[in-house]
Structure 1
Amino acid sequence: MGSVPEMNRRELIKRAVAVGLLAAPATAALSSCAASGSRPRQSGVAGAGMAESSNPLGVSRSAPLEVVVFDGGLGVDYVKKAEADYRKAYPGTDLTHVATTDLQARLQARFVGGTPPDLVDNTGARSLPTAALADRGQLTDLRTLLDAPSCDDPAVPVRDTLIPGVAEKGRFGGEEVWALNYAYTVFGVWYSKSLMDKHGWEYPRTWDAMLGLCAEAKRAGIAGWTYAGTYPYYLQWTLYPFIAKIGGADVLTAMDNLEPNAWHHPAVKQAFEAYHELAAKGYLLQGTSSLNHIQSQTAWTKGKALFLPNGTWVETEAKATTPPGFEMTMSPPSGLDRSDAMPFETLWAQVGEAFIVPRDARNPRGGMELLRRMLSKKVAQQFTLASSSLTTIRGASDGLDLPSGLTSAAAALKAAGHNTVAPRTDWYQSLNREKIAGLIGEMMTGRLRPAEAITAIQRAADATAKDPSVKKYRH
């Protein structure tokens, strides 16, 4: 007996939902994606049109295309640019573009019902759990796209136009590539160079120097730090490389691998105690714990706080409130002292802005073709100039006149060399966002002491390690 045709299968799913056969809440279905009994992983891509030189992925020229994009600090214009190119190549396409900040609200039920869009920018605080979706078999293997000819040179496959690590970041325990990350983000401590110069201050390379500078700033009526208190995972982007500087990158690897007592390493204790001092000594902007990312960035650009932990997109996201002459600048996080295992230049840099093509999409080849067009240098350069962020396309920023913040980030990345870290906080998204980040936030408010936060985090990590329903990953 043959397989059920695609449209008939969709209709069956819809009818099953209608009569209650698939009535489990969407959130529960997605949270249990890694449980046993998930559908087999698929590596092929549903057929459509005829492949040819002008249409290497064999996209149906009349099939509708639906794109859902995270509307965050990087904007959506670069996707729209690629969509315009797509429309020219496939003029009969009915292309729908949706921008949102809440992917879960938009798409959870649609993934469960088997009617997801064709391409999704799965990013942001309310993104879907990519690793779980991959394990459940709900994503399309993007190796077909990686093997396709690139837009800039048909003799060069897409995979060879990307910086190292892009395919690896999209894998979750196998050879399949389930996500393709578009941005290359550098994280660090951001400040106004003009404000620092005005007071004769230099960026501190050790923690004692950091505390000393925060004390001077406080006397001048400026808080030392602020951050997105309602999204405390922003702190991890400088806290984790700080931990690596103190104890070495293997400490972060042990944390990623859910190893017993990984969080009880002395380097974690020293880093947590150091960050706790910022709060204990009154060096945080008052009310920081209740600020979101926009509010904290606005307070910072208004000169209310000296330092802000963030990623390279902040230059664009805070553009509207950044005064002329601000000279936005990024530095690696300060080290602890001379005994650090890694140099001051160590920072967190990683690929991000993950695009996925759902398995049950009506037009998965169209989703991959749009992504192929986004990976052209023309679109990548537009993205870099508009978002003040680097991309995962080799050489896309060469020759561009970059703004001060991105220029400093690129210089810091070059100085770091091989001393970059990229913790896999995406492996266990609920553990990271709901437990670890929240507990770090509690420590920064003073409701938990560093030792209490560490113990609670280790307990949560151990619970995840012992949970048989959660698929495990290792470096």
Structure 2
Amino acid sequence: MGSTSEFNRRDLVKRAAALGIIAVPAMGTLSACATGGGGGDTDNGTKNKGETSAKNPLGVKKGVPMEAFIFKGGLGDQYAKDAEADYNKTYGVTVKHTGTQQVGPKLQPRFAGGNPPDVIDNSGSDHLDMNKLSSQGQLQDLTTLLDAPSLDDPKKKVRDTLYPSTLEKGKHKDAFDVLYYAFTVYGTWYSSRLLKDRGWEYPTSFDDMIKLCAEIKKANVAPWTYPGKYPYYVHFTMFAQIAKIGGLDKWIAIDNLEPKAWTSNDAVKQVVEHYEELAAKKYFLEGSQGLTHIQSQTAWTRGKAVFIPNGSWVENEAAPTTPKDFGMAVGPLFDGGSGDKMPHGTVRAEPSEPFIVAKGGENPVGGMELLRILLSKKHAQNFATKVKSLTSVQGATDGMQLSPGLSSAAGLVKKGGENLLMIQLPEWYPKLTDEKLGGLTSQLLTGDMKAAEWIKKAQQYADEFAKDDSVTKFRR
């Protein structure tokens, strides 16, 4: 949580140490996974497999060592330790646990050497390249996990407890080999107390936002801030706005690296020009271009800026500087106009925090079982309580008393209904979105680049990736 980046989470944020969730930030230099080393046992997940039973449907062999590598960013790693404790009690071992923000640097040599850990929370800025790992056959296909009975209801398969987007996002071509555990809500975050005290209302459209920004600036407060060190945070909302206004089909063309997908989409022009206008009118907190994700969040929680683009991991990550009466909240995507292809209330809410099981690990069956434990209602609720984030388990938090930010995010998902957007581009091509497009966005928000040039170069970069045979391609 988050993130994707996270990213995705990926997450930074999801990536960078944000979902750490996102490595959340710092995805600039992504770690490529080792190309050496074998793909592990050729029998799909049968290494150290024991007898199956109603209570042990995957066939975990008791006493076999198990190792977990967990990204310790904005979500921490206690939630994983709690699930490991249940695993230990059931299978008579003590899971070897490592919490780290350097997943890639520590594990690349181990994959190359053929001795990877069994289960990995592959998040943060220094994450492993899952596309390469998958193409090399080093990831365990998790279909067996999806088809296993859930811990809460043996009559219901694990796959039936998850958001459908979790099943889509975890695929590399025909293999389901990534289990995104968190369910991150990306959007424009704000303090409900601040808006109430000032008599301001969360805008419903781009036009309303521009009008409110002018009012906010007159009150000697910055309308916006963002982590300029990791400008792809702005993409959390920018990309989703393009999909909301132009329609999912046209966004999928962008995900698929299709020719002219950026330049022929009127929604791209409208959205990027909106950010150009925010920059031209100096609606960003001065100095934002030099801030990390933590620094920008701190400026925001201290009331120096009203809005910030982020993921739902932010509540947990920014907790040390958030006043008790802050009233953290997230709003839906803004309307562009009457021609929008998706309705008001549309939100980007999607799986994040990627877990993988190494096929070449000592105990891949145990790795899948740990994931099955994490996907129980007990541990989904524990995750929500400890890190203030939703999981990919549908309805797990129903009836719970939630923190302000998580309650707002959960409410947004519920109101969004079927209008939940999932953006694949940052997951499939992080070097394109976080490095190339991130560099363009950095210039856009400082006023050093116009929207037209941003769009032209975005298409150029996308075309370069599409033609690069060394880049594994994916399609929706």
TM over 0.5: yes
Paired residue secondary structure (1:30): coil
What is aligned with 2:149? Answer: 149
Alignment of 1:260-279 (within 5 A): 260-264=259-263, 265-279=265-279
TM-score for the superposition, normalised by structure 2? 0.88
Question: Where do residues 79-98 of structure 1 align in structure 2 (5 Å cutoff)?
Answer: 79-91=80-92, 93-98=93-98
**Equivalents in 2 of 1:147, 1:245: separation in Å?**
33
Q: Using the TM superposition, name which of 266-275 and 411-420 deviates more.
A: 411-420
Unaligned runs of 5+ in 2: 1-29
- With over 3 angstroms needed to count, the CA separation of the structure-2 counterparts of 1:171 and 1:43, relative to structure 1, is farther
1:161–1:248 Cα change, 3 Å:
closer
Q: TM-score, normalised by structure 1?
A: 0.88
2:46 aligned counterpart, secondary structure = coil
Alpha-carbon shift at residue 29 of structure 1 (Å): 6.3
Kindly report which structure 2 residues correspond to 1:276-425, keeping only aligned pairs within 5 A, or say none.
276-424=276-424, 425=426
Q: For the residues of structure 1 that align with 2:354 and 2:43, how far apart are their CA atoms? A: 19
The whole-number CA distance in structure 2 between the counterparts of 1:415 and 1:150 is 27
Q: What is the Cα deviation at residue 400 of structure 1?
A: 0.2
**3-state DSSP class of the match of 2:427?**
coil
| Kept after mapping to 2: 8 A contact 1:179/1:356 | yes
Q: Given residue 183 of structure 2, which amino acid in structure 1 is its aligned partner? A: Y
Aligned counterpart, 2:237:
238
Q: CA deviation at 1:211?
A: 1.4
Residues 356 and 28 from structure 1, CA distance in 2 versus in 1: closer, same or farther, beyond 3 angstroms? closer
Q: Kindly state the Cα deviation for residue 430 of structure 1 after the two structures are TM-superposed.
A: 2.1
SS in 2 for 1:165: helix
**Aligned equivalents of 2:56, 2:340: Cα separation in 1:** 53
Q: 1:408 is aligned with what amino acid?
A: S
Q: CA deviation at 1:60?
A: 2.7
Deviation at 1:117, TM superposition (A): 0.8
Letter in 2 for 1:89: T
CA contact (8 A) 1:152 1:376 kept: yes
* Mapped contact 1:241–1:346 kept (Cα < 8 A): no
Q: Which secondary structure state, in structure 1, belongs to the residue aligned with residue 428 of structure 2?
A: coil
Listed one character per residue, the Cα deviations across residues 325-373 of structure 1 (whole Å, up to 9, x for unaligned) are 1111110132223333322212211011111001211111111111111
- The gaps in structure 1 that reach 5 residues or longer are 1-26
Q: Verify the 8 A CA contact 1:42 1:137 in the aligned structure 2.
A: no
The SS at the match of 1:382 is helix
Higher gyration radius (CA)? 1
2:136 and 2:337 mapped to 1: Cα distance?
Answer: 45
User: Partner letter of residue 429 of structure 1?
Assistant: P
Matching residue of 1:69: 70
CA separation of 1:32 and 1:342: change in aligned 2, threshold 3 A = farther
Give, in whole Å, the separation in 1 of the partners of 2:462 and 2:404. 39
User: What secondary structure sits across from 2:172 in the alignment?
Assistant: coil
Distance 1:42 1:420 in 2: 38
Alpha-carbon distance between aligned partners in 2 of 1:461 and 1:143, rounded to the nearest angstrom: 32
1:32, distance to aligned residue in structure 2 (A)? 7.0
Question: Equivalents in 2 of 1:87, 1:42: separation in Å?
Answer: 27
Structure 1 residue 456: Cα displacement: 1.7
In the alignment, what sits opposite 2:33? 30
Q: Distance in 1 between matches of 2:352 and 2:124?
A: 10
Q: Which amino acid aligns with 1:213?
A: L
Q: Are the counterparts in 2 of residues 276 and 443 from structure 1 also a CA contact under 8 Å? A: yes
Measured in 1, the distance between the counterparts of 2:180 and 2:368 equals 13
The 5 A counterparts of 1:12-31 are 30=33
Native 8 Å contact 1:188 1:238 kept in 2? yes
**1-structure distance, mates of 2:213, 2:81:** 43
Query: What is aligned with 1:474?
Result: 475
Q: Is the 8 A contact 2:221 2:306 kept in 1?
A: yes
Deviation at 1:31, TM superposition (A): 7.8
* Match of residue 184 from structure 2: 185
Instruction: State the distance in 1 between where 2:290 and 2:95 align.
Output: 39
The residue number in structure 2 matching 1:4 is none
* Deviation for aligned residue 1:41: 11
Work out the CA distance in 2 between the residues paired with 1:47 and 1:32. Answer: 22
User: Deviation at 1:43?
Assistant: 7.0
In 2, distance between residues paired with 1:181 and 1:233? 20
Q: Judging changes above 3 Å, is the alpha-carbon distance between structure 1 residues 465 and 305 closer, same or farther for their aligned structure 2 residues? A: same
User: What is the RMSD of the two structures over their aligned residues, measured on CA atoms?
Assistant: 2.1
- The equivalent of 1:170 in structure 2 is 170
Q: Secondary structure at the match of 1:262?
A: coil
Partner of 1:439: 440
CA contact (8 A) 2:31 2:127 kept: no
Aligned to 2:429: 428
